[in-house]
Structure 1
Amino acid sequence: MPISRAARRATRRLGAVALAGALLAACGSGSSGSTADKNGKVTITIGLFGTFGFKEAGLYKEYERLHPNVTIKESSTENEADYWPALQTRLSGGGGLADIQGIEVGRIAAVTQQQSDKFEDLSAFGAKSLKSDYSAAKWAAATTSDGRVMGLGTDVGPEAICYRSDLFKKAGLPTDRAELAKKWATWDDYLKLGEQYQAKAGAKSRWMDSVGSLYQLIVGQQKERYYDASGKLIYDKNAAVKSAWDTSVKAAKDGLSAKLAQWSPAWNQAFSSGSFATIGCPAWMLGYIKGQAGAKATGTWDVAPLPGGVAGNWGGSYLAIPKGSSHAKQAYDLVKWLTAAPQQEKLFKKQGGFPSNLGAIAGVKDVKDPYFSNAPIGELFGKAAETSPVQVLGVHDQDVTTQITNALGEVERKGTSSSTAWGHAQKGVDNAVG
């Protein structure tokens, strides 16, 4: 949730052709997609990216049982990088919008600072009464400078490392999560352990899935990454970003990466094939791993704390209501219910999305996950959330991440030099920022 999210984190639902077709249909229609028949029955549409987990956890069905006049229809785009441009087209064209739209944390500043006129102020429905349910940072990120509330928080993305304990054992590495946390106390330690793994595992399995994933873990530990508190873009002058870049480039050049583009079909297949032994694991990644690796992989995965001494955050999302919905009040009622503590607890227990609701965080502290070798995920991700920095977010946060990770992909898959790839990243950011 990563995230991306989040993030980044989903099952593919719309290919490029289908997405293009949907956009054409959207631009030709002024409808929000909601319908109400003469008996007062309402269909509420939800547009998301990735796997938020609401459907998978049975929450839609539960809500429909509680509200017999409501039917919920979800559409989801696998990659947030495809979802966001499509949403912009729909916001500009005035048609094809869902009653509820997911917003990744890396985009929320764009909504509050540039697009607040395109979304409902949830204060009008009583949202401000929920302020104490969230941390100050989570609430503030979705609030405009004049106090309008643009969305309610779903999850956050406290980070850890997910690893294949069976592959570790074969390579002669320790498998105990506490021992591993000591052995990879720093990122240099993590890479050195990867070299030990690589020496035993051979060419068919690599230490990590991609250096883009590694980069996002490291930079997620920073309070200031791409923007400073004044809103100035500083990514290319930030020593922390440069350090994360250099560490990721080193991992690529040392052959520790499986060179898999995240969210690609090959990456999805690799969760069960043993092509990589570790992966950056914000809490929302747990559900993704389960979906890709399948039930047969139960007990082969485990979770350990992040190197570096502090945890980071990768992903997390909000639910917002575009203006123009003919059922805004019903949509808000659903948003409020989906983000309430009981539902966020269920999502974590079934899908791994770590709650942003403070009441839910307290309720999941003792949760363990049998799939991940009975790892104490409630405690582990709870501590990670406590130590994660309150990040400074900018309008183009997600765009900067995308351009940098794309450039790192050139390094690991094409052998592009670090300086040349960084130049490509800078050009990409310049084009995205405009």
Structure 2
Amino acid sequence: MKTQLKAGVAALSLMAATTFAADIRIDGFPDYDTQIEAIKGGLTEHNVTMLKNNHGDHHTKLKTNLATGSGAGDVVLIDVGFVGSFVNAGGFVDLSSQFGPMADNYADYAVAAGKGNDGKQYAVPVDLGPGVIYFRRDYMEDMGYDLNEVMTDWDTYIDYGRELKEKDILLIGNASAVANAYYRFNVGEGEGLYFDADGESLVTSERFVRAFELAKTIREEGLDGNISEWTEDWYAGFREGKFATQMSGAWLLGHLKNWIAPDNSGLWGVSHLPSGIYGTWGGSYLAIPKQASNPEAAWDLIEYMISEDIQMAGFENIAAFPAHTGTYDDPAFEEPIEYLRGQKARLMFAEIAENIIPVTPMKGDLVAEDLVNVALDKVLNDGVSIEKALADAERQIKRRVR
């Protein structure tokens, strides 16, 4: 394809300026192993390998590596949910001088999230996660439902689930995804996800209460399957059509067509979330640990991976939505996607990405996220009231985050 040919030319041009060769290890998680394998041939003067772990184990290992000062790769991939905590832990190389001159070419909110509290750039965005909802077309338009009416707001979305239940179809695999979507995508300007501008907890605010109420309604009415995400049962749910919708980032498309449900081409479509809210669901960053043996070569890899052509290659290979805004005029955005029954979904992804309001990353985000997830589990599975679960979570957040 044109983008792949251009990528090869860009790589050769980049590496012509490189005067040394090095072994570079990038530590990451799926589906970036697919992307690395597809593009590494263009980085001809370096030997690039990837150490892959599943999402959770990768970040747990990286946390240990940073704390002990050893064991990390030359380049590390970081999910946006971890970036706020990791960049402020002091274990990454300052990339301000390298990335600063090109930062205007990348989504503003994503650039901001890769900075530490000192304003320096420690992590560079490589892909974004425009928040969307994937839906089964055979349970939507093929059954006579109007997508726009279903997605009018959260109440119409749940009403759709009630009608599906009469047909023995689940609305969603797990109600927790609805709560996550609501509280992540209704953040006030200048706020963090869990903390306000002054560092005070927000988890007992109306945003979290409403999110928990929506999820509780879905669970109590039997509209979800209580299927844990990223499990074999969840993958089977996609393949077998057990549920009708799934909230996620645009990147889920790559997982669906590459390995979760490759035989389901034409059965899925993608839409804005209910109420037309904008937000980011995931997204990835690249950083260089201070312990890296060859930071110069590591930067070569990062610069290569965030270049315009390789960003488009990632979009083609694994549906990793580009952080480089210069790609949004590429003709590939107009191409129909066969897996989504010919939908030109990339135009929607770009429109969402350009309307996302920045969410300030905070050092306590990981602690708060864990405690909010525990609170949600207690509400959905143990019958604890929303008010008590959130109040308990806030008390623990205040105790653990100084």
TM-score (norm: length of structure 1): 0.80
Q: d(CA) in 2 for partners of 1:359 and 1:43?
A: 30
* Residues 320-339 of structure 1 mapped to structure 2, 5 A cutoff: 320-339=287-306
Give the secondary-structure state (helix, strand or coil) at the position aligned to 2:326.
helix
Q: Give the drift of 1:239.
A: 1.4
Q: d(CA) in 1 for partners of 2:171 and 2:366?
A: 26
Q: Give the drift of 1:402.
A: 3.5
Q: 1:379 and 2:379 equivalent?
A: no
Q: Equivalent of 2:46, from 70, 77, 80? A: 70
Q: Equivalent of 2:95, from 105, 122, 138? A: 122
Map of 1:164 onto structure 2: 136
Counterpart residue type for residue 356 of structure 1: A
The total of aligned residue pairs comes to 378
Q: Give the drift of 1:373.
A: 1.2
RMSD between aligned residues: 2.4
Q: Give the drift of 1:222.
A: 2.0
Could you list the per-position Cα deviations for residues 323-347 of structure 1 after superposition, in whole angstroms to 9, with x for gaps in the alignment? 0211110010101110112111121
Map of 1:138 onto structure 2: 110
Residues 79 and 263 in structure 1, CA contact (< 8 A), matched pair in contact too: no
Cα 1:49–1:428, aligned 2, differ >3 Å: closer, same or farther? farther
Map of 1:232 onto structure 2: 200
Runs of 4+ aligned structure 1 residues displaced above 6 Å come to none
Q: d(CA) in 1 for partners of 2:202 and 2:368?
A: 11
Cα 1:209–1:424, aligned 2, differ >3 Å: closer, same or farther? farther
Map of 2:172 onto structure 1: 208
Map of 2:373 onto structure 1: 405
Could you list the per-position Cα deviations for residues 126-146 of structure 1 after superposition, in whole angstroms to 9, with x for gaps in the alignment? 221211111332222222354
Q: Give the drift of 1:173.
A: 4.2
Q: Give the drift of 1:186.
A: 0.4
Q: Give the drift of 1:162.
A: 0.5
* Residues 8-407 of structure 1 mapped to structure 2, 5 A cutoff: 41-51=21-31, 53=32, 55-57=33-35, 59-67=36-44, 69-80=45-56, 82-112=57-87, 114-116=88-90, 118-124=91-97, 126-168=98-140, 172-174=143-145, 179-200=146-167, 202=168, 205-223=169-187, 224=191, 225-236=193-204, 238-363=205-330, 364-407=332-375
Cα 1:233–1:414, aligned 2, differ >3 Å: closer, same or farther? closer
Could you list the per-position Cα deviations for residues 278-314 of structure 1 after superposition, in whole angstroms to 9, with x for gaps in the alignment? 0003111111222344332111111122111322211
Give the secondary-structure state (helix, strand or coil) at the position aligned to 1:46.
strand
Could you list the per-position Cα deviations for residues 184-237 of structure 1 after superposition, in whole angstroms to 9, with x for gaps in the alignment? 21011100111011112x2xx31101112111211222234311123332222x
Q: Give the drift of 1:160.
A: 1.4
Give the secondary-structure state (helix, strand or coil) at the position aligned to 2:70.
coil
Q: d(CA) in 2 for partners of 1:135 and 1:169?
A: 34
Q: Give the drift of 1:425.
A: 4.2
Give the secondary-structure state (helix, strand or coil) at the position aligned to 1:281.
strand
Cα 1:296–1:227, aligned 2, differ >3 Å: closer, same or farther? same
Which has the larger displacement, 392-401 or 345-354?
A: 392-401
Structure 1 unaligned runs (5+)? 1-39
Give the secondary-structure state (helix, strand or coil) at the position aligned to 2:48.
strand
TM-score (norm: length of structure 2): 0.86
Q: d(CA) in 2 for partners of 1:430 and 1:254?
A: 34
Map of 1:23 onto structure 2: none
